[in-house]
Structure formats: C-alpha cells, structure tokens
Structure 1
Amino acid sequence: MKKTYFLLFLALTTSLVSCRKDKFEVVRAGNPADTEVNNWIHANMKQWYFWNDKLPESPDFKPDPQTFFQSLLYKFDPSLRPDGDRFSWLQESAAELKASLSGESTTTGLEYRMIRYVTGQDDLFGVVTYVDKGSSAEKAGFKRGDFFTHINGQKLSVGNYRALLTTGNEAKVITLGTLDADKKVVSTSTTRSATPGVIQSNPVYFDTTFVKGEKRVGYVVYHQFIPGPNGSNAKTYDQELEKIFADFKAKGVNELVMDLRYNRGGYVSSATQIASLVGKGVSDKDVFYYKEYNKTVTPDLEKQYGKDFFHDNFLSKSQNLGGSLNRVFFLTSTSSASASELLINGLKPFMEVFLVGGKTVGKNVGSITLSDKTNRIKWGIQPIVSRSSNSQRSSDYTAGFEPNVVKTEGTLLYPYGDPHDPLLGEALFQIFGTRVARRGLDESEEQPKVGPEVYSSIDRKAAGGNMFFTLPNQ
C-alpha cells in the first residue's frame, strides 16, 4: 500500500531547480536585486509551471519581480486560452505566504462582504459573514449577520473601504448598522473596537445534528482545508473532523450536509481525509484523484517517488459515515473553490452529490509553494503545477459545478445551524420534505433591498482559491 506523507509546506531551493542544469540567463540591465529574483523565478517556472511549454522564449528580465512574473504566465482568456492560468501568484514574503496557506494571518478576525446601498452609488455597508474564534472581533462581540457602516468615524465607500479595513495595526472603531422599518441599513450609535493581531483560524467551525423521524442529519461548517496549525506537524483539525464524524456515526446519522460556501480551498491531504470520512463503499484500494504534471518534471517525480505518486487513494477510516449514506449535500457559493471542488469531483463516482447554493469557481488545478531555502531571496511563488481528475478521469469542471438548487444566502444572515438560512433550509427541505416557517414572509420579502456586492474578504482566503500539494520526503 502506498505510504501517506504529510508536510505543511514544500520549500524548493534554486539548487533543486538547477539539478536539471537550467542556466540562469545573464541580464545586465535593470535593478540587480530584481534581476536575481527574476532569474530565480524563471528557473523555477521552467521546471514546475504546468504550462512551462508556453513560457516566453525571450522574456524581459528588467521589470520588477511582480511585473516579470505576470509576463511569464499563460493567462486565461475565454476565447484565446480557455485552458489558461487564472490562479498562479507571486508574494513578496514567502514566510507570510506559507503562514496564510495554513490559516495564519494578521487580522481583526472579521470576515465580511461589502455591499452598495444602491446600485450605481459608491456608499457601502458591510455585513459580517463570520468571526474567527479567539480574535479581537469575537472578544468585542461581533457575530455573523452584524451590519457595519463606518470605520474610525469614516463612512465606508468604494474608495476607502480597503484602506480602512485592511491596512494599519491600530484599533479599528467600527460603527454598527441596523435595519430600519423600510428594511434599509442605517447607522446606529453603537461602536465596537477590534485590533488586528496574528490569528490562527480553525477551519472546523461548527457542527450540529437535526432529527426528524428516521432522518438524522449531520451538519458541518468547514472554512478551509487545513490539517493543523501553521508550523505544526500535528493534524489537529483533521482529528477534530474525525471526532465529529465518530459522533455522527454513534448518533446514527444517515444524511450529511457539508457547508463549503466560504471554503476557497487548501491542502489536498485534508480533502482526501474528508473524502475518506464521507465516501460510500470506499477503501484504501480506491482512487480519490489523479494528478498530472508537465512533461519536464514528470520523469523526475516518477523516478524519485514511483508511478503511485500520480494518484492518491482514499484512506481507511473507522469513522467513515458512507455506509449509512446514499448521498451527500454540499452548500456552495461563487467562493467555493479548488480543494472544495476536488472533494465534490472525487466523491461523484461513489455516491450522489447534491449541491445547494451558487456555482463554484471551477478550479481543477493545483499548486505548490516554491521558496528559496537559503533565504537569500525572500519571495515566494505559488504556481499552478498540476491538473486533477477523479477516479473516472473526469476533470471537466473549469466552468464550475452548477448547483442542483440555486440559492443565495442574501444580506440578512442567520447563525450557522439556523434552518432559516436559505442554503441550509433548502438542504433540510430536500431531506425532510418540509420547510421551516419564515414568520409569514417569503424569502424575497424578508431580505433588505440593497445594491450589488463589491467585495468579499473570503475571496482573499487561501490566496484566491488554491489547493496545495506537498511532496514526500522533502
């Protein structure tokens, strides 16, 4: 049986890249420091980039690293390059890159959406989607569904919200909003203060069960595919999920709802873990997903790790709930991406998969973290290096997975586990056949009248929706 390996991050050095005898090009113009970084970027991209056969033949090494990196990409174009790259990125600090991919960041703990009051106008208000546990925002009393209208006394607008919410380490005084009689968001006199700090987010956010007759429903909210805290080899969060599924199994759960509406992706090892807890009739002999690399690196990987490296099997889990399930429900949105989609795709050959919510992002490719182990170069690269498919070799979801039932959560948000939530309520309706009464109002009447969404902080999670691979024995 193939061994299962786990590493939080893969740090590749220029010496590893140079084992293929790629020569750094000599460039005598431009900033010398930038030139060194650009040569390092180019050598790594020639080795690992999934579309390395599409790299420019004679790139200009003179620009700053970010501009240079963008010039190398085989960028997506719906007409010219529908198979192109939408997801690779470069970050100035490899250390910050690695931390963020494991759920560690400097933040107040607020996750939110910014929404126009009226279409065509620049004034905005915010709605809290959730609050990181243990954060300054949680301690200040913020909760899912809160409205806010001002930061440090300044009214939020298209032109200032990023600076007010995402920059500076000082305390942010946040003015709460409420709905008036006309269901419009208005400011209140109530303020709360939250200070940015280093937070390790726990992705296993909420779980509960619903029982009606013979139906026993397990519900889990999962925000990011992370095995454990940054800098730790302990699979703390994977183990939390095992305990939840063991509890579900003990309670006789026979329907499962997994809430991935805010899940942008993460480590495929955690996707494999969850698939192994959910999959019906799966064993460690069954393939969960295949992965394909470029022609340059494939022979090296096969020589070093063997042919089994190019697929991952399900794991044998005593907590597996699949024996009691005929289907699994996923709650999705336009933010659900990458490892979330890998999980959906990988389970499809083994059981019915029912989606409620929004169309997913459409990311069937994965990345690794490239950094200079000598620390001479501080930058980090997160390039797309592979394409994934399920056990039936199906990988055709670059346009995203369409939900079986289209639902949006709206602007008036309910606590996790509240059946009035449109997405959860729909899943429970599909299971129980009855809907929760909505205080005499239909869904459209209950929601406030607002303009379009401008920004969601969720979309910066996992740096835009990637799934991260690691190599054994590195």
Structure 2
Amino acid sequence: MIKLNVRVRQLHLRNFGRNTIGASLLAFSVMLGACQKNFEEDPVPTTDPDVQTEQTDNEWILENMQTYYFWNKQLPAKPDMTQVPEDFFNSLLYSYDAAARPDGDRFSFIAADAEELQASLSGEGTSTGAEFNLYLARQGSDEVIAQILYVLPGSPADKAGLKRGDIIEQINGQTLTRSNYSSLLFDQNTMVVGYSNWQNNQLVKSDKTISITKTVIQENPVLLDSVYTVSGKKIGYLVYNQFIPGPNGSNVNTYDLQLDQIFSQFKAEGINELILDLRYNPGGYVSSAVNLASLIGKNVDATKTFYRQEWNETLTPELEKEFGEEFFVKKFTTKSENIGNQLSRVYVLTSRRTASASELIINGLKPYMEVITIGTQTTGKNVGSITITDDTGKKKWGLQPIVFKSYNAQDQSDYTAGFPPTLQAEEPLELLPLGDTKEAILNRTLLQITGAPTARLRNLEAAPLPYAGSSLERKAAGSNMFDGQIKRLPEVQ
C-alpha cells in the first residue's frame, strides 16, 4: 500500500518593467583597463559612432576574456575587431570539436541585455509558465510537436488549462514545423494554441483552442515534494528545477530556506530513501548546489570538500593572493536538517537536460554515498561560469564565459560526455502528473527501491519520437554553473 502526501510549491507573478529588475546575487563588476591587450594593431579610426561603439565594446570583451576565460591561452592572436560584438565574442571561443578539440567550450555565451540575463539567472523571465520538449511528429517529418513537461502553478499556461503531457501542434492557426516553431513558440506574446494528447500510441486532437498571454514570472524552482510509504520504506521525493537561492533582486535565500524546511520534514518523518528529480534542472548557482548537497550527503559537514575549482593560469595566482587557497575548495555546510545518516544511497532522476549544478550534485556526492541515476544520459558540463557586466552602465552586454573546471573530493571530473544512467529509462509520450506513483520514471524508481522484477521495467527502454530540442535550453541557467560567493574579482596587473 502506498500513502501519498504531496505539497506543490507556488510561484509568484510579478508584472513590473525592466527598470525595476534588481541585480543578480552573483553579478560583479569587472574593472575596465585592468587587462593587457595582446592584439598588435589598434582598430582603424572611424567617425561612424556605431562602428566606434562596437570597436569599444569588442575591446572590453577581449580584455575580460584575456583575464577570466578558462581557455585564455587559446584566444586568437589577432582577432577581427571589426565584427559586431556577438560575432566577435563567438570568434574568441575555443569551440568544441569532437575530433580536434574534445576539451573545447560548449557553454560560453554573450547576452545582448545584461539586466535580462541576470534576471533569467535568478529564474525570472517573460513566459507562459510551461516548459516543453520538442519532437518531430514522425521520423523524417518536417512537422514539430511540443510536449509539455511541467506547468508552473498560477502561470498563464496553468490558468488556461494546459497540463503536463499536452502536445502543442499549432500556434495562431499555423502547424509547427522545423522552420517556424522557434518564432511561433518563443516570439509571440499572445498565442492561440491548438493541442492534442497522446493516447494509446497516437495523437488525439482536442476540439478546442486556448489563448495564452505571456507575463513576467518569477519561478520557484522547488516544484513539488512528497513522502511515500512503500512496503515499509519511507521515501522522500523532491522535484527541483533550477538552482536558485531566492527571487531575482532579493537578498533573502527564500528557495534555499524552503529546501531546508522540506528536509527538516523529511528528517522528522524518518525517510530512509531519497529520490531527487533533476530531469528538468539545467543548473544554476553553486551556492544552492552546496546547500542541497549539504542536506543530503552522508557524514558531511563544513570540514568536508564538496568540490574544488581549477581556474586559468593567469588568474589562479591572483585569486590565491587575494582570497587564499581556500577560494578554490568549496566545502559542505553543517546543517541540522541533513538526512544523510538516514540514507545509504540517493536516487537521482536524469535526462539529457540535466546539467551543470545538477551534475555537480551527482559528482560531488559520489565520494560520500552511492548515487544511482535513473533516466537518460546527462548533458556533460563539468565547468562553471561567471557573469561579467560593465559597472559604468555604458555597455549593455552581459558576458557568461566559462572560467573554471570542477573536481570532486576524489579529483574526479571525467563527465564531459555526461553521466550515463545506472538504469536507462526514456520518458514515454503519454505523461502522467509529476508525483503520481504511476508516472513512468518515478514508478520505475519506486519499483527499483522495492526490488521489483526487471521484466516489469523493460517497457521504458524504447525511445519516443525523434528528439528535436527543449525550451529548457533557453533558460540562462541551462548553460551555466555559478559561484555565488564571488562578488568582485581582483584586477590583474
């Protein structure tokens, strides 16, 4: 018999303009003129103000990349300073190539608006409140479908009646295709949605459409927590969708404190198994990863290493001089809510979108307890970034370069291809609500915990329709892992 107690976390809708968006908890300023230029010729003088601005922006970008970029020794000797800033930034990257540069960069990026970037890193953005995966409608098809993974409570999508598992086929009367899905799904503020459900291995069209208007949403990453009693076992379950300490612009770690309360309840209820659902978590702040790991790890406290960082050769001695060797080693924190001594292992649910700080949890906990992953292979991001903005306010850009590589307490960092699952389980197209004990991946995990026969689990091995992408890739956290302790880095002379 299964006893179920589910608590769904609410999000907050905030309908304010750009000018009131607060700075990210992480953001720090990089002092101009702190780095030496290594290009040999000055840009050709010009009287065109747009060109002059772009050249100045490119100089600023180059200076910061020379100092902070993890692969700064691989920067081009003579970069083309005449490019527009986006193209110029991308031209500097030590880009990944499976054959030539398997250790290359897959994650650095530049954002046109630093304020919007910083808001997004804290879970705030304009959205319907629905996250989804994209699939081709059939093998070799030009048509695309968007299947909803989860809907934030109280969001426009929730109020319109969309739910997990619904499949969007049309927007504003147009069928989604390879060529138009991006503009239809992401560029429209108000959309009329035509949708279907997946039933008995086929799409069943709804006979109605719904209208949705996007709004500014502050996402609470703690989507759901539950406690199940199964065959005498007490099993805690947590759906956590982004590593965010608190709402954008807030100085209070609201969401970290919420996790503390959940684990305090887990501890009080005597759970002896834990399922951490990170299928839709693309990463976020390292400070929140430290907090979560400190709630889970077995026999951990503030003396134990969670992970360590390796920076470039230029910056490492400066950081060590400014902050000491302890800057590079991130310890667990001692937390009264820790349940590690009640556990012998932790189950982590994964997907191809499980990345960055989520993978840091897996890697960082492995030296201390058994970590069993169930789902599909993770992204493979063992590096972290910082946000660089111009404190003068004259430059609008936000830079998010990779600046360090991470290692666990056993100096392991060998997951650039992602963590392969301990147990392979592809999500089917007929999705049940998260937290429902019959939901495919959760059900498989519960059966694994209780020792169910393997034969009952094989139906999850087959892949669904051809995968084409995910809305989770557009989350700023999807390409990042941050060190929330950094406020300002030292100038490099």
Alpha-carbon distance between aligned partners in 2 of 1:213 and 1:473, rounded to the nearest angstrom: 49
**Amino acid in the other structure paired with 1:173:** V
Match of 2:105 in 1: 85
TM-superposed CA distance for 1:462, in Å, is 2.9
TM-superposed CA distance for 1:283, in Å, is 1.1
Match of 2:27 in 1: 10
Alpha-carbon distance between aligned partners in 1 of 2:61 and 2:128, rounded to the nearest angstrom: 33
Contact 1:338 1:467 in 2 (8 A): yes
2:240 corresponds to 1:222 = yes
Contact 1:127 1:148 in 2 (8 A): yes
Q: 1:462 aligns with which of 476, 479, 493?
A: 476
Q: What's the % identity of the aligned pairs?
A: 48
2:290 corresponds to 1:272 = yes
2:388 corresponds to 1:370 = yes
Alpha-carbon distance between aligned partners in 2 of 1:120 and 1:29, rounded to the nearest angstrom: 51
Alpha-carbon distance between aligned partners in 2 of 1:133 and 1:304, rounded to the nearest angstrom: 45
Which deviates more, 74-83 or 217-226? 74-83
Alpha-carbon distance between aligned partners in 1 of 2:476 and 2:221, rounded to the nearest angstrom: 12
Alpha-carbon distance between aligned partners in 2 of 1:233 and 1:437, rounded to the nearest angstrom: 50
Contact 1:257 1:331 in 2 (8 A): yes
Alpha-carbon distance between aligned partners in 2 of 1:163 and 1:239, rounded to the nearest angstrom: 38
The verdict on how the C-alpha distance between 1:442 and 1:69 changes in structure 2, with shifts beyond 3 A counting, is: closer
Contact 2:35 2:64 in 1 (8 A): no
2:326 corresponds to 1:308 = yes
> 1:402-435: per-residue Cα shift (whole Å, max 9, x none)?
1110001121111111222222112111211237
Contact 1:13 1:374 in 2 (8 A): no
TM-superposed CA distance for 1:392, in Å, is 1.0
Contact 1:88 1:382 in 2 (8 A): yes
Alpha-carbon distance between aligned partners in 2 of 1:28 and 1:284, rounded to the nearest angstrom: 55
Within a 5 Å distance, the mapping from 1:66-465 to structure 2 comes to 66-169=86-189, 171-179=190-198, 183-434=201-452, 443=459, 451-465=465-479
2:37 corresponds to 1:19 = no
Alpha-carbon distance between aligned partners in 1 of 2:174 and 2:113, rounded to the nearest angstrom: 31
TM-superposed CA distance for 1:353, in Å, is 0.4
Contact 1:66 1:90 in 2 (8 A): yes
Listed as ranges, the gaps of 5+ residues in structure 1 are: 1-5
Alpha-carbon distance between aligned partners in 2 of 1:473 and 1:374, rounded to the nearest angstrom: 16
Alpha-carbon distance between aligned partners in 1 of 2:309 and 2:423, rounded to the nearest angstrom: 30
Contact 2:346 2:371 in 1 (8 A): yes
Alpha-carbon distance between aligned partners in 1 of 2:458 and 2:423, rounded to the nearest angstrom: 17
Alpha-carbon distance between aligned partners in 2 of 1:115 and 1:402, rounded to the nearest angstrom: 22
Contact 2:35 2:66 in 1 (8 A): no
The verdict on how the C-alpha distance between 1:462 and 1:392 changes in structure 2, with shifts beyond 3 A counting, is: same
Alpha-carbon distance between aligned partners in 1 of 2:379 and 2:149, rounded to the nearest angstrom: 19
Contact 1:10 1:471 in 2 (8 A): no
> 1:228-278: per-residue Cα shift (whole Å, max 9, x none)?
011111100001111110000000000000000011110000000000000
TM-score, with length taken from structure 2 = 0.89
Alpha-carbon distance between aligned partners in 2 of 1:231 and 1:371, rounded to the nearest angstrom: 16
Alpha-carbon distance between aligned partners in 1 of 2:165 and 2:56, rounded to the nearest angstrom: 48
Which deviates more, 346-355 or 137-146? 137-146
Contact 1:425 1:435 in 2 (8 A): no
**Amino acid in the other structure paired with 2:275:** V
Q: 2:66 aligns with which of 36, 46, 50?
A: 46
Contact 2:136 2:467 in 1 (8 A): yes
Alpha-carbon distance between aligned partners in 2 of 1:328 and 1:183, rounded to the nearest angstrom: 33
Contact 1:108 1:197 in 2 (8 A): yes
Tell me the number of residue pairs that the alignment of Structure 1 and Structure 2 aligns: 461
TM-superposed CA distance for 1:23, in Å, is 7.9
**Amino acid in the other structure paired with 2:191:** K
Alpha-carbon distance between aligned partners in 1 of 2:460 and 2:112, rounded to the nearest angstrom: 44
Alpha-carbon distance between aligned partners in 2 of 1:359 and 1:372, rounded to the nearest angstrom: 37
Alpha-carbon distance between aligned partners in 1 of 2:435 and 2:405, rounded to the nearest angstrom: 35
> 1:290-331: per-residue Cα shift (whole Å, max 9, x none)?
001111111221121111111111001000000100000000
TM-superposed CA distance for 1:473, in Å, is 4.9
The verdict on how the C-alpha distance between 1:155 and 1:336 changes in structure 2, with shifts beyond 3 A counting, is: same
2:48 corresponds to 1:28 = no
Alpha-carbon distance between aligned partners in 2 of 1:284 and 1:173, rounded to the nearest angstrom: 52
Name the SS of the counterpart of 1:345 in structure 2: helix
Alpha-carbon distance between aligned partners in 1 of 2:477 and 2:264, rounded to the nearest angstrom: 32
**Amino acid in the other structure paired with 1:278:** I
**Amino acid in the other structure paired with 2:195:** L
Alpha-carbon distance between aligned partners in 1 of 2:477 and 2:285, rounded to the nearest angstrom: 13
Name the SS of the counterpart of 2:338 in structure 1: coil
Alpha-carbon distance between aligned partners in 1 of 2:293 and 2:231, rounded to the nearest angstrom: 27
Name the SS of the counterpart of 1:191 in structure 2: strand
Alpha-carbon distance between aligned partners in 1 of 2:101 and 2:482, rounded to the nearest angstrom: 24
**Amino acid in the other structure paired with 2:153:** K
> 1:177-220: per-residue Cα shift (whole Å, max 9, x none)?
1346x632142222222111111111000011111243100000
Alpha-carbon distance between aligned partners in 2 of 1:429 and 1:274, rounded to the nearest angstrom: 25
> 1:349-378: per-residue Cα shift (whole Å, max 9, x none)?
000000000111111100000010111010
Contact 1:137 1:193 in 2 (8 A): no
TM-superposed CA distance for 1:165, in Å, is 1.0
Contact 1:206 1:221 in 2 (8 A): yes
Which deviates more, 300-309 or 238-247? 300-309
The verdict on how the C-alpha distance between 1:444 and 1:434 changes in structure 2, with shifts beyond 3 A counting, is: closer
